[in-house]
Structure 1
């Protein structure tokens, strides 16, 4: 927990999404009782085992979302950060409408250009947003990305700088885009330097 206190000092108001995959309900409640409310899961089935936790938890879905899992998680998610196609966005909108819900989403970009990562190209951003305007049950609140799989801090910095520039260009054009979700346990310090607004941290907190 001392690591938690250090991280909170470093964040200085930046939102913390605690990645709770593979963690027990008791471990989640430890952080809930410290005042944390934003928790991230990357598998639908695991998320569904945790939905009996306090109702004011803002569950974030941060993994690759299979289309056949959208309906099952819809009643419980506050935000789906990993939307990487218009097809998926339209399905999310349809399932949210089915239960009279408006759900927050983020566009996931693969700025690291790694085959192992999901995400759109930056060129897709405006087309994506313009095609979402008739979808009344989603609210695009920001963008999400992952740093490259490398120990080279300069390479990570380049990708996060691109993320920041993309976020700012979209934020200036669309005032509902307010969240830049980048930075994880290994690279969150670089993300803070590049002015992220949310980090997703798990392993170093447990």
Structure 2
């Protein structure tokens, strides 16, 4: 099975999941997580119709974004202060902002670049010590602080669910969606209109995320790996 087959199968399943949830498939973006593949695989994915790609290392983000400027490049990894200039230059959307000091640095770098950078706040809904992200209770204060910066625009929230239990994953996604809606109600109308993204769900649990309101699903292995497809078929 080639990438085109995997991609078409994913889009077809996404359409079915959205229909079951009473949603329009056009409201959910498939983010092809390309962090484990090289330029040839990205080129093939682009030729198959992919437009959004996710990287977790700033150096690979820069390398691939320069090679394929026609794509939208998302940064989905942990943020290091010294790497923010590189991320700010190439990322269309940053999914993993959770520290105030990084917000300040992104604003400064974006101003130097003459742009506004879109970000998502990473929220540790599950409370797992192994996961990064702010506590749900801290999101409202962070949003109030972010409003003072002119070159960073907070577009929504991101989370990673615990692996191995789809019911637990779905509860995490539902909690993130409820948190997004609660925060939106407290925002001025112009900010609320932009605060609409929910990045949640990966290859194993994106269906649960779609049912819970995801607007971006981050899919890597299910698109780029024949092994994952074979395993999923067997199970």
Q: Shorter-chain TM-score: which interval?
A: over 0.9
How far does residue 205 in structure 1 lie from its aligned partner after superposition? 0.7
Which one of the candidate residues 111, 117, 128 is aligned to 1:114?
128
- Partner SS for 2:92: strand
How far does residue 143 in structure 1 lie from its aligned partner after superposition? 0.5
Q: Structure 2 CA distance, aligned partners of 1:152 and 1:74?
A: 35
Question: What runs of 5+ residues in structure 1 fail to find an aligned partner?
Answer: none
- Partner SS for 2:50: coil
1:49 aligns with 2:67: no
Which residue in 2 is equivalent to 1:83?
Answer: 97
Q: Structure 2 CA distance, aligned partners of 1:56 and 1:157?
A: 34
Which one of the candidate residues 146, 152, 157 is aligned to 2:165?
152
Alignment size in residue pairs: 205
- Partner SS for 1:49: helix
Which residue in 1 is equivalent to 2:201?
Answer: 183
How far does residue 48 in structure 1 lie from its aligned partner after superposition? 2.2
Which residue in 1 is equivalent to 2:31?
Answer: 17
Q: Structure 1 CA distance, aligned partners of 2:66 and 2:112?
A: 22
Q: Structure 2 CA distance, aligned partners of 1:49 and 1:198?
A: 23
Q: Deviations over 1:148-175 (max 9, x none)?
A: 13x2222111111101111222234322
Q: Structure 1 CA distance, aligned partners of 2:166 and 2:220?
A: 20
RMSD: 1.3
The runs of at least 4 aligned residues of structure 1 exceeding 4 Å deviation read none
1:164 aligns with 2:177: yes
How far does residue 140 in structure 1 lie from its aligned partner after superposition? 0.7
Q: Structure 2 CA distance, aligned partners of 1:108 and 1:86?
A: 12
How far does residue 138 in structure 1 lie from its aligned partner after superposition? 0.7
Greater share of strand residues, 1 or 2?
1
Which one of the candidate residues 122, 131, 145 is aligned to 1:131?
145
Q: Structure 2 CA distance, aligned partners of 1:153 and 1:22?
A: 24
